[in-house]
Amino acid sequence: MKNVVKIIATFVLLLGTFSQVNADELFVFQDAQLKADNGKSAKIFLGVPVKVKKDMDTSAKVSVYGFLDGENVYSTKNKELLIATLDKGFKTKTIKGNEVELVGTIEKELLTENGAEVWEEHEEFFYEMCTQCHAAQAPSHHTMIEWEALMLPMKGFAKLDDEENSYLLRYLKSNASNGLVKTKH
């Protein structure tokens, strides 16, 4: 079922006219590769905001901002949400401290202007699994740390397996009050 929804969503997305990117800030629609000028890649996770620097034919040159720890990039200093992983040799630009900018090209068909659209399938699963006993609280109602703690008992209550649990947790944390931060730069 999940896959069918994904295929339909991808199909609808491909039908859209993506020849032109208008907005300054777009969102990665699914896990995607960011390719640097030196040929090295970084994996960018779904939902992550990117800032468009240059609109090219089928791709766009974009920036992604985050906090670096080894090969991992997180949305905050506290490293609560992994937003990218770097291949060996991928060079980041330091902004200050361990705050970095990742620059590279990305396929435009993997980007969307509508940040909420990214999470439609997750949201559906969330409401399906988490409203059996009580009303759902919006993801923005809690911080990332709070969701991590809340999901410990709720994983059992909702009978989620590990994969479903991390799928939901990524949705909840990304949309938490301190989740994916905008590309303010």
Supply the DSSP string of 27-57, one letter for each residue. Answer: EESSSEEEE-TTS-EEEE-TT-EEEEEEE-S
Rounded least distance, CB 39 to ligand HEC, Å: 41
| Packing angle of the helix pair 2-15, 120-130 (nearest 10 deg) | 150
**Near ligand HEC by CB under 6 A, which window of 2-10, 27-35, 113-121, 153-161?**
153-161
Nearer to ligand HEC, 93 or 141 (CB): 141
Backbone angles phi, psi at 180, to 5 degrees: -70, 115
Task: Check residue 169 for interaction with ligand HEC (CB under 6 A).
Answer: no
Indicate which single residue of 26, 32, 42, 168 sits in contact with ligand HEC (rule: CB under 6 A).
Answer: 168
- Segment near ligand HEC (CB under 6 A), from 15-23, 70-78, 104-112, 148-156? 148-156
Question: Site for ligand HEC (CB under 6 A): which residue of 150, 167, 178, 181?
Answer: 150
Which residues in 11-133 belong to E strands, given as ranges?
A: 25-28, 32-35, 41-44, 49-55, 59-69, 72-74, 82-86, 93-96, 99-107, 111-112
Considering only 153, 162, 163, 185, the residue that binds ligand HEC (CB under 6 A) is 153
Q: What part of residues 74-133 is at the interface with ligand HEC (CB under 6 A)?
A: 129-130, 132-133
For residues 158 and 176, which CB has a smaller minimum distance to ligand HEC in the complex?
A: 158
We find the least distance from the C-beta atom of residue 137 to ligand HEC, in angstroms, to be: 5
Judged by beta carbon, residue 59 or residue 175, the one nearer ligand HEC is 175
| Residue 171: CB minimum distance to ligand HEC, A | 10
Given the rule CB under 6 A, which residues bind ligand HEC?
A: 129-130, 132-134, 137, 150, 153-154, 157-158, 168
